[in-house]
Amino acid sequence: MKRTLFSSVLFAATVAGANAAAAPIHVSDAWSRPATGTAVVYATIHNDSAEPDRLIGATSPVATHADLHESSETKMPAMSMSSGSMGNMPMSGSMMSMKTLTAIPVPAGGTTSLKPGGYHVMLDLRHDLKAGETVPLRLHFAHAGWIAVTATVRPIR
Amino acid sequence: MNMVVNEWRRSHDRRFAAVLIFALAALSAIPLIALYHAFSPKPDRAPDFTLTDQDGQPFTLSSLQGHPVALFFGYTHCPDACPTALAKLTRVIHSADAPPGIRVVFVTVDRARDTPAVLKRYVRLFDPAIVGVTGSQKALDPVYAAYHAWYMAVPVNHGPNDYSVAHGTRIYYVARDGSMKGFGDYADAPAQMIRAFKEFQ
């Protein structure tokens, strides 16, 4: 309850503070998927300014938490399995893990993509997301401040 | 005379004993080899298992014989890799280029949070051809072992029940006859997945 109140207050405060028109940061193609419990937000972030910036936080009224993440794939060493349940098949593979980040860099005059298998915002949902729904978000940048973004929940197919 | 006979008998007994031991060892090896062949899975067989599906019903992998199957290990709180994999597989299921009758089996690596009810809400987001399975740790462990499915819970900072799970991203393709001829990865494009479904039949 306290947490809900806190994020609501934070959300209200950031709505008042956002000045997207003047910001050198442009966020486009923000999207999500139908989800229950946990959701993701991907987007393209462009930095028009001559200064590098960093995405340092996010908040959304649909979520109790929003975390900045990076998925990283680690190649697992090939195991030699000459017999057993998997026969003679090569057993190399990948392991996917997530890093919680304090910042996602956006280079000066450059673009950072939040996309499957890389950077993303993870939302701990208050309610399920359905295709066609929109998700309001505030993205917090170290220099550009708070930017209002609307993510579209895209259908699976 | 008696001594000579005894001597002969002793050495004969020893030789007989050695032959007997050798013969017994050889004979017992035959059933051992037969047992080994009977109980070790065929090299190209997808290891079978019975777990619990999203409706709380027993689910046996081999019940899907006749269908091309993709098997994936993941968890419902996974924000990125798992829904990316299942979204692509959903597109593949509905692609005109893909073989008909595809089924996808999503085995949880997070049984603590992925109850059948949670799995039901999750797989419903994607497609009815996707079955979500869980089970007791005792039932799941041999499945993870048989498929060499790696996973590891990684704590995050929001509380004791909050963690992510690092896990393998392999897609296991099981042919209609229950054989397993190859793997893919969650990162493969849908077109590659379709090729894999065809190639690994």
Q: What pLDDT digit, counting tens, does each position of B84-116 carry?
A: 999 999 999 999 999 999 999 999 999 999 999
What's the pLDDT at A78? 56
Residue B170 contacts A, CB cutoff 8 Å: yes
Q: Is the ipTM of this complex over 0.95?
A: no
- Same domain, yes or no: B96 and B69: yes
Nearest chain A residue (CA) to B78 = A38
What's the pLDDT at A81? 41
Residue B110 contacts A, CB cutoff 8 Å: no
In a domain, B110, yes or no: yes
**Domains in chain B: how many in total?**
2
% of chain B surpassing 90 pLDDT: 73
What's the pLDDT at B150? 86
Q: What pLDDT digit, counting tens, does each position of B127-155 carry?
A: 999 999 999 999 999 999 999 998 999 98
In a domain, B21, yes or no: yes
- Same domain, yes or no: B107 and B56: yes
- Same domain, yes or no: B58 and B35: no
The residues, ordered by sequence, that sit 6+ positions from B63 with a Cβ below 8 Å of its Cβ are: none
pLDDT confidence tier of residue A21, bands split at 50, 70 and 90: very low
Q: Which has the closest alpha carbon to B145: B73, B42, B194?
A: B73
Q: Which has the closest alpha carbon to B117: B81, B149, B76, B154?
A: B76
Q: Which residues of B touch A89 (CB under 8 A)?
A: 180, 182-183
Q: Report the residue from B42, B43, B80 with minimal CB separation from A40.
A: B80
Which CATH number belongs to the domain containing residue B153 in this structure?
A: 3.40.30.10
At A153 the three-state DSSP class reads: strand
Residue B44 contacts A, CB cutoff 8 Å: yes
Alpha-carbon distance of A137 to B15, in angstroms, equals 88
Q: Which has the closest alpha carbon to B193: B91, B67, B66, B64?
A: B91
Rounded to two decimals, what is the model's pTM?
0.80
For every residue of B20-82, DSSP letters joined together read HHHHHHHHHHHHHHHHHHHHSPPTTBPPP-EEEETTS-EEEGGGGTTS-EEEEEE-TT-SSHH
The residues, ordered by sequence, that sit 6+ positions from B87 with a Cβ below 8 Å of its Cβ are: A33, A156, A157, B126
- Looking at residue B130, its amino acid is I
- Same domain, yes or no: B126 and B54: yes
- Same domain, yes or no: B30 and B55: no
- Same domain, yes or no: B192 and B131: yes
What's the pLDDT at A13? 47
- Same domain, yes or no: B23 and B70: no
What's the pLDDT at B18? 65
Q: Report the residue from B47, B126, B166 with minimal CB separation from A85.
A: B47
- Same domain, yes or no: B58 and B79: yes
Please name every residue paired with A140 in a beta bridge, in sequence order, or none if there are none: A57, A146
Q: Which domain holds residue B60?
A: 50-199
What's the pLDDT at A75? 79
Alpha-carbon distance of B52 to A1, in angstroms, equals 35
**By a Cβ cutoff of 8 Å, what residues of chain A touch chain B?**
33-40, 65, 67, 69, 71, 73, 76, 79, 81, 83-89, 91, 93-98, 100, 116-117, 120, 122-124, 128, 156-157
Average pLDDT over every residue of B41-66: 91
In a domain, B22, yes or no: yes
Among A6, A7, A32, A38, the strongest candidate for a mutation testing the B interface, having the largest count of B CBs within 10 A, is A38
- From B139's Cα to the closest Cα of chain A, the distance in A is 17
Cα Rg of chain B, angstroms: 26
- Same domain, yes or no: B21 and B56: no
Neighbour tally for A114: CB within 10 Å = 25
Alpha-carbon distance of B120 to B102, in angstroms, equals 19
Subunit contact B76:A88, Cβ cutoff 8 A = no
Q: Does residue A6 surpass a pLDDT of 60? A: no
pLDDT confidence tier of residue A17, bands split at 50, 70 and 90: very low
- What domains lie within chain A, and their CATH numbers? 2-76+87-153 (2.60.40.1890)
Measure Cα distances from B126 to B36, B73, B96, B132 in Å.
Answer: 41, 16, 18, 11
Nearest chain A residue (CA) to B146 = A85
